[in-house]
Amino acid sequence: MVSGEGKVQSCILANGKRRISGERDGPLSLQRGPSDEPPFLLGNMVGTRGRLGSDSPLLLTRSSLALALAAVLARGVRSLQSLDGDASSVIENPAASGQSLSLDETAGVPGTKGEPGWLKGIPSVSHARRLVRLLAAVCAVALLGGLAVGVWFLVKLLLRPSFSHTPVGLGDIKETPFCNVTEDVSPSEPKKGSVFYRISPENSLLEIQLGKLPAWLPVCYERWNSSLGTLVCRQLGYLRLTKHKGVNLTDIGPNYTDGFVQITPEHNSNLENIWQLRGSCVTGKVIALQCFECGTRAKLPRIIGGVEATLGRWPWQVSLYYSNRHTCGGSIINSQWVVTAAHCVHNYRLPQVSSWVVYAGIVTRGSAKVAEHTGYAVEKIIYNKDYNHRSHDGDIALMKLRTPLNFSDTIRPVCLPQYDYDPPGGTQCWISGWGYTQPEGAHSPDTLKEAPVPIISTKRCNSSCMYNGEITSRMLCAGYTEGKVDACQGDSGGPLVCQDENVWRLVGVVSWGSGCAEPNHPGVYTKVAEFLGWIYDMIESY
């Protein structure tokens, strides 16, 4: 191929024919049939084997014909402007300028076995112009056809369910390729120097385990205050402290013989570094405390094998309505605050807050059923300022209700996770919501759906056969590699909860995923433990 102005190209077509084209703004071509067809006679051009001359027709070989056509086209489009009006694309006519189109006599021409040749002749300008117009029309039709196909593929892609996603218990299990990353199902070992907290279910005493010491030790009452109580409650995933007091050692019996933990005199550092071991308590008292109750539910029967939730089974689940339409899910964390996803609300500003209504204590959201309940107006919407709508990182938001919720068997808060809570792969958790029940369809059920999903380790979820490094440290994955159960459109902002120490904790917020219930693409959730500080700060500030 020769590049440049008036360039000549030769290509083999799919049907075995050859097309020789001189390009300007569109291809100018001549097609040759199979080798058994009669030779093409070019009129008004004569010559001998290596030269085109005066008055007799010339029997052209394949390459000679190509060169002849190049001369014809170069001469014929001499005065034509380019289709886009670019004067620089005009092909110069060799005869008009006194120049001839020649080949290097020492160079072989394909199809002539290396024999040199010369082209000379005056073609018809109208013939070349008609050929240009014909080829331009063909190219235009081909371009429009390609554009139509591209638009069709684009529309098909856009009509797929979006990334934000609801439990899908329907659909067949698909065979999936093997993912060469083993799942880590063993719990991770605690870090050295870590401090662990718990509240004894027997007597409400605060107990602490320091480092790798096996014993759980009570905390002396000296230097204790309510602020420390709030910090400890939040460390345990409870929103606030509700009650604390000193209990006499004589009242708790001889159960604690391994020592005690006391607050250091200089306890201005973080909570982990303020404790020290003691053999006894000076005041003879230890701390008992109660934190905000959450993560519990009334003892209600469960539908065996069903995917529809019963009333009160997930009492923290709410439906977020925008302009009288279910838009997202959310989770109650106290009487005035709901956790949801940032992508549900970040496009809405203050004038539109009044269009949001929160419905709690329902499992059926049909118009008649919803009308029976009073929706809770939203006073304030706060989404995480670090939310990235492209990577979905930081996809978490808070809604403050104008009036507090009245807790009951069907309306209760969920607990938050403990700090640095990282459930190991294989941990069984649950999702719930009113989102799509079919990946391709837009059917959203009236009744709340639920489904169990196992946690998938970040290492595995970031493997090349899943999300290939897209999962950040502030996300977690849950679902099945075969794609049989997943969250989908309409569940966004809803809860991923895991049971821990007899309470349910909000481990994740439904965020995104590749389609819905697709093999090797489990649901991706915002990791709530990474945003505990932000949640507590927002609640205290507003």
Catalytic residues: 343, 395, 492
Q: State the Cα–Cα distance between residues 59 and 278, nearest whole angstrom.
A: 112
Written as six digits, the tokens of 402 are 């104008």
Q: State the Cα–Cα distance between residues 173 and 485, nearest whole angstrom.
A: 9
Between the alpha carbon of residue 19 and those of residues 62, 142, 319, 504, the distances in Å are 11, 17, 65, 72
Q: How many CB atoms lie within 10 A of CB 190?
A: 13
Q: State the Cα–Cα distance between residues 79 and 94, nearest whole angstrom.
A: 12
Cβ-based neighbours of 369, under 8 Å, separated by 6 or more: 362, 446
Residue pair 412/275 in contact by the 8 Å Cβ criterion: no
Residue pair 431/510 in contact by the 8 Å Cβ criterion: yes
At 497, give phi and psi (nearest 5°): -120, 145
Pairing of strands 428-433, 449-456: antiparallel
Q: State the Cα–Cα distance between residues 74 and 72, nearest whole angstrom.
A: 6
Q: State the Cα–Cα distance between residues 41 and 348, nearest whole angstrom.
A: 74
- Three-class SS state of 305: coil
Residue pair 39/89 in contact by the 8 Å Cβ criterion: no
Residue pair 18/11 in contact by the 8 Å Cβ criterion: yes
Residue pair 343/393 in contact by the 8 Å Cβ criterion: no
Pairing of strands 275-278, 260-263: antiparallel
At 426, give phi and psi (nearest 5°): 95, -15
Instruction: For the chain, state the CA radius of gyration.
Output: 38
Q: State the Cα–Cα distance between residues 329 and 307, nearest whole angstrom.
A: 17
Cβ-based neighbours of 399, under 8 Å, separated by 6 or more: 320, 330, 337, 338, 340, 345, 356, 358, 378, 380, 381, 382
Vertex 465: Cα angle to 462 and 470 (nearest 5) = 30
Q: Is 251 exposed, middle or buried (0-12, 13-18, 19+ CB in 10 A)?
A: exposed
Cβ-based neighbours of 15, under 8 Å, separated by 6 or more: none
- Amino acid symbol at 408: S
Among 262, 197, 240, smallest CA distance to 419 is for 197
Residue pair 24/92 in contact by the 8 Å Cβ criterion: no
